[in-house]
Structures are given as C-alpha cells and as structure tokens.
Amino acid sequence: MTSTKIVIEQDFTRGSKIISRGGRASAQLSPDYLGNSGFEADSIRLRYEQPGKLSTLFVEQRQGLEGDLRCLGAFFRFHGNDISYVFSIVDIGLYMGKLGWEDPISNFMYVEGEHLYFNFDFEFEHQGRSYRLSEGVVDIDLSHN
C-alpha cells in the first residue's frame, strides 16, 4: 500500500487551516462491484471540529476504477475520539454500514497530533445487494513536518 497525500481541515479557529500529511487507507470489497474488488485511497480527508476532537474522515479511491465508477471508499463519523458511524462510498452515494453484533472498528489508536490508526470491516447494502468492506486499514501520520 502506498502513502497518499492527505488534507486535514481544522475548522475551530478563524477560518480553516489545511495541513498536508501522509497516510494510507484500503479495503477489500466482496462481492466485486463493476469489476472493482476493493479500493486503495488516493484521497484522504480528515476534519476536526475543535482542537484534538476528530469529526469526519473520508477515504476514497477516485482514479483507476473499473466500470465508469467515479468513487469507491469509506466514510467515518466520530463522536469524541471514537467512531460512531461507518458508511461505504459507492460512486456518488453514502451507504450506512450494517451494525451487527461485531464492532466494525478494531485496533483503534488515536494520539492527538501524532497518529490515527484503525482497522475496519462492515457490510452495507447497495441497489438491493449486500456487500462487505473487509481487511480495511486507515493509517494516518498527524505529526508536524
């Protein structure tokens, strides 16, 4: 998995402060969708709502997808420093993850100003069919250059 330039948006001061860092995110998709068996993010957007408090994270692949698909990835909504909602991103839509007895997030580690890491695995429904994003990983360097 290669490192992807990410954008971190901090909206808690006068205007937005945008900082570029390195990171990676990927997952496997089953069954395949339009010939795509997963994603390796080429776009990662992390937003804070106040200092140290995570708000949202988009991890998406937009280049090199099959079947005229514009985007494939995942979206995470934070509550405090935990993930409260998971969504898949398919083309231009968000599809809520099915939350069952298993936690969709594992190995969660957030060290403010240093690092964000977690694994994910969840199912979602798209056009009446169930899909699964598995072996998902998010690994983002939050340290200053």
Give the model confidence (pLDDT) of 89-136 as tens digits: 999 899 999 876 678 999 999 988 888 999 999 999 999 999 999 999
Task: Count the domains in the chain.
Answer: 1
What pTM was computed for the model? 0.86
Q: State phi, psi for 109 to the nearest 5 degrees.
A: -140, 120
Report whether 140 contacts 6 (CB < 8 A): yes
Report whether 116 contacts 46 (CB < 8 A): yes
Q: Give me the domain span that covers residue 28.
A: 4-141
Unique residue bearing structure tokens 């699964």? 132
Give the model confidence (pLDDT) of 2-57 as tens digits: 555 555 555 544 344 445 567 899 999 999 999 999 999 988 888 887 777 888 89
